[in-house]
Chains A and B, each alone.
Chain A
Amino acid sequence: EVQLVESGGTVVQPGGSLRLSCAASGFIFRSHWMHWVRQAPGKGLVWVSRINSDVSSATYADSVKGRFTISRDNVKNTVYLEMNSLRADDTAVYFCVRDRARGLFDYWGQGTLVTVSS
């Protein structure tokens, strides 16, 4: 059974940093692109970042470019999201998502809540 379990969400002050983790199991992790998608309170889904299977490429939404870094460890079957210079509008539930085939999000974690507030 495919499982994606996010962790690391907490309350952080504006300007602070945080690292989210997503532990994957139940599939061949190194064969899949992985993404982070977020949902701010009362708002819609927003794609944040993607990393390809062999770590050779990563892309970001304009809103997080230069502040967030996605990475993965294909030995530990874990994908990370390093978030710096956090702002109030980064407050959201962050979902870890498996990519079945080039942009098709077939499995989602339950999400981890990041709150940016003083």
Chain B
Amino acid sequence: DIQMTQSPSSLSASIGDRVTITCQASQDISNYLNWYQKKPGKAPKLLIYDASNLERRVPSRFSGSGSGTHFTFIISSLQPEDIATYYCQQYDDLQVLTFGGGTKVEIK
């Protein structure tokens, strides 16, 4: 199975800060990577698909990049409503889909 390693596991930042989260795949997954936002008690929300494509109606402060084994997710200017846990997910291996461990984003 493909392992997805996210870092950091948590971070604290101020409103307006640039936030960067990384996701490393255990093998080459091309650009078959998505990013999701999860708030407590809510369903997860797709933010970025195919590593760098912004989902419809998602604010442009969210972005993604990378290919192969190394991926980056950025919030360019953190807003109060961005407090959540973020997950990467690979879909190169359609037999076993895997998520990263998550990054919890908090306000400093």
Known: A103-B32, A105-B44, A108-B43. A44 touches B99 (CB 8 A): yes
Q: Which of A33-48 contact B (CB under 8 A)?
A: 35, 37, 39, 44-47
CA separation between A37 and B91, bound complex, in Å? 14
The 10 closest A-B pairs by CB, nearest first: A103-B91, A108-B43, A47-B97, A44-B102, A45-B99, A59-B95, A44-B101, A106-B46, A104-B49, A108-B44
Where chain A touches its partner, the secondary structure class is strand
CA separation between A12 and B95, bound complex, in Å? 29
Per-residue CB contact flags for chain B residues 44-88 toward chain A (1 = under 8 Å, else 0) read: 111001100001000000000000000000000000000001010
Q: How many residues of A contact B (CB 8 A)?
A: 21
Contact A45 B44 (CB under 8 A): yes
Report the interface size class on chain B.
20 to 34
B91: contacting residue among A39, A95, A104, A106, CB under 8 A: A104
Q: Judge if A109 is at the interface, Cβ distance under 8 Å.
A: yes
Cβ contacts under 8 Å, B42 to chain A: 110
Known: A44-B99, A102-B91. A110 touches B43 (CB 8 A): yes
